Structures are given as structure tokens and as C-alpha cells.
């Protein structure tokens, strides 16, 4: 089958929504008769980035900077989708970083900064943005990475830098194949995103290849593609984990065999976790979660959330939780929608969260089951598996074959 455009990785931020780092919580613990755990110390350092997280069409001459108030920068890394870092410099007083080279047009970038306050407490900041391409050209960013090994739920996903008017022409410009062969179908989410998947989860060991032949293709009036490239990825072992909201547990299965049952704390009745099939789209050893990014005001701002694995573009994660009482896990759902696993501040590789994080591939599947909560929208992250095969195929611009 034939979908579309260029093979640069589409940052998970670009899957129709942007990089929101949202859910957290874990406030109320069950009554155990013990004194509640003291609140962990929080860094006073306030990190800001320019351009804003999720910015598109950023001109290469625009200001790019990281600044910090009430602290100093320890490290800053600005890198393109191939992992190539942009050189830069932290000011002598540690309050500002700026790149020393101009950025590349039509490229996705990630910006990661770490700062500390006077007490040595860390604050992390992660953001992503896209630079503008030349006039009258359209770029598509590709996920997963070329030559990556991924989980069985990973689709081919293409995110276009500009709206695509002639979706059929774009869809014909690329051929996606699998070895061993399996029927594939494309589905458009709006006019900027095209995903391709099989009817069922990939078979472990499958080799997926994408032949991008966009050069010279007019995908919108006066807008032409320029890319010609061959890319691909390998499907690794199968890991499918099932979260039971009623029992606050997650059963981890690898290649069909039960590996471990972990106690979790999922979304509270006021903020229930999405139900359905979700795919891990990003992993962060540590990240910041701020309730303002998901419309929850000032409820929380945790600057060093460990072992975070993104499930939706709108801010649902599986992540380590060091601030809740240990009795929460397996007994009560208390978060703002995320799935929390016991952890320690700074991230403990021996904790349940650390164990799960280390064994997880981007593309692994988490199925959330329960009576409460809405089904996850298929366009919210890499979660098209929540559509039937018939509905999925109707999303192709080339019709159902």
C-alpha cells in the first residue's frame, strides 16, 4: 500500500497534538493508621525555553534560548531528529543558554535542560519545535526512527509540515511493506498526519520498510515535496501490559507469558485514566510535569518525575511516583490520569517503575481496562488500534480495496 513523505522522525509532539507533560498527583493515600509521608523537597529553579513547546514554522534566524530564574543551568541539549546536537554556550552566571550555530530549515528539534537551585535540587524542562522549510515545499517527519527496534504496537506515522490538500497524491508517494508480508492500510488524522498499520499488532521480528518518493509531488496547490528516501524499522519482542483499574494492578506479559504483576495508582474518580489500547511513544529518564499544560491550573508542578513513558499526546504517562505514600500503589487510584508506579526521587532502577522503564521499548502496548473513564481517542498519540479494521481502512484517501 502507499502512504507518504520524508523519513525524519515525527516527534511524539507532532502526532496532531503537542508535547504536554501532564498527569501526576497521588495526593490521598488509603487510611493505614500511619503518618503520611512528608512532602518531598521541590526545586525553586524555574526553567523557560524559547520557542514555546510545540511551536511550528520557527524561522532559523529566530531567537532560541533557555533561561532560568532562582537557579543555574547544569546542562542544555538541543538536538535534531537524527540526534545531532547543536553547539551552544551557558552564560558565565549560569542563567542563560543559547546556540552558537543557526538551525537547519524543515527540521524537528528537541530541547532538554537541567537546572539546580541553591539547595542543589534539580528541575528538568523538555520541549520540542519545528523549523520552517523553504517556501512552497512540504516536509513530512517520520516515526519511529530509522533502523529502530520497536514494540509490536508501533505504526508508521507521518506528520506534514503544512496541510495536505491532495491526500491521494501524497498517499501514493510512498510504499510501506512488511516482511513477513501482512496487509497494511493507511488512515488520515486531519490534513497533516497519516498513519499506517496492519489489522493486528505486528508479529515480533517483522521488518518494516518505507519507500518515500515525494520529490516533485504536488500535495497542495503550489506546494511540492522534495524528499526521496528509504527507511525502516524492526519489530522486537512482544510486551503487552494490562492495567486493571479495579484492582490497581498492571500485568506485564512478554511474548504471551506473564512476567510480573505491578501495583499501580491510576487516575482518581475525578480524573480517570483513559481506557483502551495505548502505545508508548516516548521515554524520559526524568521530566517535568506541570498541571498548567493540561488545563488543570496550579494543582501540581513536579520538576523531576522519574521513569516517564508517554501514552498520549495530551499528557497521559506511565511514570515513577516518589511523592505518594507507598500504601497507595495497589490500593487506590489517586492521580490526575496517569498510571503511577512506586519509585524514589532521582529514579531507582530497582523500583517497580525503574524495572518497567528499563524493559520498555517505544511501541510497546498498554491496555487499560475498567468501568470508569472515557475511551482514548485514536488520534491522541499512536493509538489507532482503538479503531476497528473496517473503520481504519475507510480513513485512506485511496478508498477501501
Are 310 and 12 in contact, with CB atoms under 8 Å apart? Answer: yes
Catalytic residue, from 187, 271, 336, 338: name it: 338
126, 187, 319, 336: which is the annotated catalytic residue? 319
**Is 307 assigned a catalytic role?**
no
Instruction: State how far Cα 221 lies from the chain centre.
Output: 32
Cell of 48: 523557560
C-alpha closest to that of 150 among 50, 49, 237, 57 = 237
Any idea what DSSP says for residue 273? P
Helix, strand and coil content of the chain, in percent to the nearest 5, comes to: 10, 40, 50
| 23 included as an active-site residue | no
Burial string for 298-311 (b: 16+ CB within 10 Å, else e) reads eebbbbbbbbbbbb
> Quick one: DSSP state of residue 13?
G
Half-sphere exposure of 300 (CA within 13 A, CB side): 19
Residue 135's contacts (CB-CB under 8 Å, 6 or more residues apart) are none
Enumerate residues 6+ apart whose C-beta is below 8 A from 52: 127, 129
Active site residue ranges: 319, 338
Amino acid at each position: 500500500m502507499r502512504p507518504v513523505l520524508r523519513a525524519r522522525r515525527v516527534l511524539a509532539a507532532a502526532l496532531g497534538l503537542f508535547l504536554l507533560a501532564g498527569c501526576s498527583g497521588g495526593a490521598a493515600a488509603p487510611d493505614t493508621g500511619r503518618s503520611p509521608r512528608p512532602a518531598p523537597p521541590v526545586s525553586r529553579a524555574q526553567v523557560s525555553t524559547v520557542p514555546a513547546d510545540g511551536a511550528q514554522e520557527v524561522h532559523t534566524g529566530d531567537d532560541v534560548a533557555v533561561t532560568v530564574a532562582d537557579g543555574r543551568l547544569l546542562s542544555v541539549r538541543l538536538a535534531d531528529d537524527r540526534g545531532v546536537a547543536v553547539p551552544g554556550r551557558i552564560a558565565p552566571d549560569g542563567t542563560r543558554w543559547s546556540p552558537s550555530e543557526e538551525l537547519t530549515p524543515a527540521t524537528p528539534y528537541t530541547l532538554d535542560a537541567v537546572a539546580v537551585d541553591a539547595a542543589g535540587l534539580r528541575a528538568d524542562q523538555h520541549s520540542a519545535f519545528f523549523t520552517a522549510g523553504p517556501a512552497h515545499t512540504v516536509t513530512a517527519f517520520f516515526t519511529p526512527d530509522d533502523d529502530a527496534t520497536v514494540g509490536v504496537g508501533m505504526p508508521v506515522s507521518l506528520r506534514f509540515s503544512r496541510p495536505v490538500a491532495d491526500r491521494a497524491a501524497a498517499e501514493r508517494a510512498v510504499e510501506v511493506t512488511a516482511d513477513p508480508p501482512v496487509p497494511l492500510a493507511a488512515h488520515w488524522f486531519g490534513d497533516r498526519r497519516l498513519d499506517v498499520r496492519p489489522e493486528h499488532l505486528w508479529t515480533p521480528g517483522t521488518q518494516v520498510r518505507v519507500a518515500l518518493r515525494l520529490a516533485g509531488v504536488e500535495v497542495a496547490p503550489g506546494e511540492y515535496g522534495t524528499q526521496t528516501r528509504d527507511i525502516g524499522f524492526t519489530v522486537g519482542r512482544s510486551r503487552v501490559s494490562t492495567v486493571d483499574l479495579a484492582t490497581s494492578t498492571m500485568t506485564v506479559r512478554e511474548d504471551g507469558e506473564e512476567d510480573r504483576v505491578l501495583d499501580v495508582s491510576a487516575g482518581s474518580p475525578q480524573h480517570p485514566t483513559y481506557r483502551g489500547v495505548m502505545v508508548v511513544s516516548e521515554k524520559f529518564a526524568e521530566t517535568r510535569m506541570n498541571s498548567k499544560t493540561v488545563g488543570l491550573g496550579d494543582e501540581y508542578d513536579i520538576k523531576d518525575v522519574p521513569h516517564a513513558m508517554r501514552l498520549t499526546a495530551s499528557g497521559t504517562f506511565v511514570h515513577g511516583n516518589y511523592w505518594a505514600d507507598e500504601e497507595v500503589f495497589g490500593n487506590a487510584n489517586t492521580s490526575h490520569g496517569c498510571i503511577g508506579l512506586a519509585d524514589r526521587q532521582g529514579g531507582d532502577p530497582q523500583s517497580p517503575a525503574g524495572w518497567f522503564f528499563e524493559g520498555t521499548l517505544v511501541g510497546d502496548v498498554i491496555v487499560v481496562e475498567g468501568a470508569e473513564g472515557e475511551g482514548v481517542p485514536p488520534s491522541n498519540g499512536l493509538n489507532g488500534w482503538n479503531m476497528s479494521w473496517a473503520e481504519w481502512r475507510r480513513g485512506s484517501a485511496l478508498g477501501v480495496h
